[in-house]
Amino acid sequence: MTNSSSNTKRSRAFIGAGVGVLMAVGMGGWLLTRGHGAAPDKDAPPPPLVTVVVPSLGHVAQAVSLTGLISARNDLPIGNEGDAARIDAVLVEPGARVTSGQVLARLNPLTAQSQVDNATATLEEARANAAIAETEWARAQRGEDLFSKEETERRRTAAATAQAKSKAAEAQLADARSRLAHTVIRAPTDGLILTRTAEVGQIAVPGSTVLFRLARDGQIEMRGQVAEQDLSRLEVGQAAEVYLDGLAHAFTGQIWQIGAIIDPATRQGTVRIALPAGNPALRPGAFARAEVHVGARDGMVLPQTAVLTDDQGTYVYVVGADGKVARRGVSIAATRSDGLLISAGLDGHERVVAIAGAFLRSGETVAVATPPGKSSSATAAASAGGQRAVALR
């Protein structure tokens, strides 16, 4: 009985000790878990370090672009207005500036000169006959009693007929002289010789052979094609910058005519831009492009590296106050030398990831790099400082 009682006491002591050990282990595990649950995992990788920019307020000039060719404002074809004749001499070359009435070429005058000589002889004969008829008519008038009425009427009719033949001969002579004058090809106005097809020995046929092309007064223009939706934004008198391939500088022109119709095939209209005359670089036929400024537009300017594009559209990554990046869709209004002009999607106070945004995921936590020479507080102040003006290009 005594042994049994002592065994029972010994068993209770072992059980109590075991329970105490289990409670101590449990308490220690709980404390260990509580003490290290809020501590960061030393083996976890650090968040990506990114550079951010705050969008700046920018202005961009809106322009309508067009392409076309340099042309003479008034392209005058010059040909032979007389009879067909062989060209004896060509006196000007393309690029020459001429004055009104200046001789450009000479045709063989032999045929025209012979016609003048014949017409002159005919006129002299007609005038002589007219003089004789007038004398006889005058004699009949003085001696009415000596001549019969029939003879008097005949002489009057003969005098009138002779006068008519004389006038006809005068007209024929004038026509022959005009034909002779047309053997000399002259410039109809001041201008610039654009092309020359006249060659010595060539037969100049009136109405079918263009011997020269002349730019009236040397005036040059650009004839461009503009999309239908942009044509309504243009007005006569607007300035335009015209660019030629191979030349770095632009030529300043002015719209002087806007087409009245839209080509139904291309859905484009014609715009004519007057350019300064006398510049040898403006050669008719050269390809040109032009920009006509039609106003300005405000927006947010971002570096091109900050703006990304995928199949869902154009977007940027914005760093929130919690350090996480979020995708933000934006609209691009124009391209500038200092970046892209954003017309929608930003208000100018966001912190936008400037570089390597394509390697981030929406919702990912990042660390913002502090620019050298600035404290983190200065960076935060700059981020919240709002918009800064950007000078126009």
Whether the Cβ atoms of residue 186 and residue 86 lie closer than 8 Å to each other: no
Q: What is the mean pLDDT of residues 212-219?
A: 92
Which region among 59-68, 94-103, 180-189 has the lowest average model confidence (pLDDT)? 59-68
The domain limits of the chain are 49-60+297-383, 65-73+218-296, 75-104+188-217, 109-182
Whether the Cβ atoms of residue 185 and residue 71 lie closer than 8 Å to each other: no
Residue 22 confidence (pLDDT)? 43
- Using one digit for the tens of pLDDT, what is the confidence trace for 329-344? 887 776 666 677 777 8
Whether the Cβ atoms of residue 300 and residue 386 lie closer than 8 Å to each other: no
Question: Does residue 33 register a pLDDT over 70?
Answer: no
- Using one digit for the tens of pLDDT, what is the confidence trace for 132-168? 888 888 887 777 667 677 877 888 898 899 899 999 9
DSSP string for 60-85: EEEEEEEEEEEEESSEEEEE--SS-E
Pick the CATH number of 49-60+297-383 from 3.40.50.300, 3.30.1180.10, 3.40.309.10, 2.40.420.20: 2.40.420.20
Q: What is the mean pLDDT of residues 95-112?
A: 93
Q: Which two tokens stand for residue 268?
A: 């484009």
Q: Which residues pair with 273 in a beta bridge?
A: 222, 255
Rounded CA-CA distance 285/279 in Å is 14
Q: Which two tokens stand for residue 256?
A: 């002087």
Residue 60 confidence (pLDDT)? 63
Residue 184 confidence (pLDDT)? 94
Question: Does residue 368 register a pLDDT over 60?
Answer: yes
The radius of gyration of the chain's CA atoms, rounded to the nearest angstrom, is: 49
CATH fold group of domain 75-104+188-217: OB fold (Dihydrolipoamide Acetyltransferase, E2P) (2.40.50)
Rounded CA-CA distance 156/164 in Å is 13
Q: Looking at mean pLDDT, say which of 34-48, 88-102, 277-291, 338-352 comes out highest.
A: 88-102
Average pLDDT, the chain: 79
- Using one digit for the tens of pLDDT, what is the confidence trace for 88-101? 999 999 989 999 99
Class of the CATH-defined domain 65-73+218-296: mainly beta
Q: What is the mean pLDDT of residues 83-92?
A: 93
Report in angstroms the alpha-carbon separations of 42 from 39, 175, 275. 9, 112, 72
Q: What is the mean pLDDT of residues 162-188?
A: 92
Checking phi first, is residue 197 left (phi over 0); if not, alpha (psi -120 to 50) or beta? alpha
Residue 203 confidence (pLDDT)? 92
